[in-house]
Amino acid sequence: MRASGRVGYAVVGLGRIAERAILPAFRNSKRARLVALVSGDDHKAKRLARQFGAEDFFSYDDFAFCLSHPKVEAVYIATANQLHAELTERAAAAGKHVLCEKPMATSVEGCLGMIQACRMNSVRLMVAYRKYFEPASLALKKLVESGKLGRLKFMHSAFTFCLAPRKKGADWHLDRKLSGGGSLVDVGVYSVNSARWLAGLDPAEASAFAWTTAPARFNEVEENIAFRLNFSGGLVLQATAGYGAAQASFLQVCGEKGWAGLNPAYAYDEERRLFGKIQGRWFEKRFRVIDEFALELDAFAGCVRSRGRRNSRSLDPGIFSYSTEFFLPSPAASMLLRSTNRLKTKGQFRLGPGIPLAEEISAGRDARNGLYGLGVSGAPRWED
């Protein structure tokens, strides 16, 4: 691997987020460059390679050839969620570093396999959670850490958008096998991980309620979900994720001395406003739109080049911990979705030792399908 210069990336998967955000980000990146594309659509790959200056493009069947490309040092995996684990393990075996879109995989076993593969081959692995690099979120983090809000008591958050029906073909987001879940694993993760990041804590308890107004369409994954995470010390997160409402996102943090809100909180293409009131005094600051994906690409490129610098954070107590430059989200998701060691007691389900999850099934739903309709037996569906 090169010791200096820009890190060469191959982007695997050319869906909406890749075409609209990831590929354009290379134009604004200072430490990364686009080398190759991988797609199941040769015509699209050729068009986007020409548009964004990639040297080469490959089909999924030729992924091995992409991994043997001498200029490809890292891969950015942006495929359907089911493929994350397999593609990560193959890339690691070829000595390539991996930046993977969330959710990390569709099962705990998949996550463990990714981590083991990257450890064994001494390559970097990072989940693409861009909020760690975005100035408004960093300003909120700094405010919380300053103690100006006092002891945190509760947080409120939401992230929703309308998942419109596709004109052609099936939508893998609605296929549980391909996606691993619905709005929770897609956009709810932002609320989960932001709360963990801001508080510096992992939740100890989780409960949730899922519902849909289109049961025929959302018969495998949750359309909307409201959930609660309880942290030590009395901190509580109340959050909502949805596929059935207009695009909106917010995060509000309330402490004993004041409160602060970020709105919009999670979209990547909107001006942000950080505001609130501390001991009776109003404050407000606006943050212009920036290329968050370029910051993310550069951060991971820095991890690749700075081989000696590592940080550690437990991904899920009792399951595994993993050393990486930036911690991977999030144990809360496994609390919500894990089906192992599950016991039904007095109307509650226990997901793992000592982690109760109250189950509320909406009218007409088969209780055997479990909370969110994500399955309650067999392997866990998702670990973000």
Q: What is the SS3 assignment for 263-326?
A: ECCCCCCCCEEEEEEECCEEEEEEECCCCHHHHHHHHHHHHHHCCCCCEEEEEECCCEEEEECC
d(CA 261, CA 276): 6
The token duo for 302 is 């820095």
The residues annotated as belonging to the active site are 102
Helix-strand-coil split of the chain, %, nearest 5: 35, 30, 35
Instruction: Give, as one character, the DSSP assignment of residue 131.
Output: G
List CB contacts of 75: < 8 A, sequence separation 6 or more: 9, 10, 11, 12, 66, 67, 87, 91, 96, 97, 98, 99
Q: Which residue has the tokens 């089909």?
A: 59
Are 165 and 217 in contact, with CB atoms under 8 Å apart?
A: yes
Are 243 and 161 in contact, with CB atoms under 8 Å apart?
A: yes
Residue type, 97: H
- Cross-strand bridge partners of residue 278: 258, 281
**Cα–Cα distance list, 152 to 17, 84, 262, 282 (Å):** 34, 35, 16, 18
d(CA 93, CA 97): 10
d(CA 113, CA 115): 5
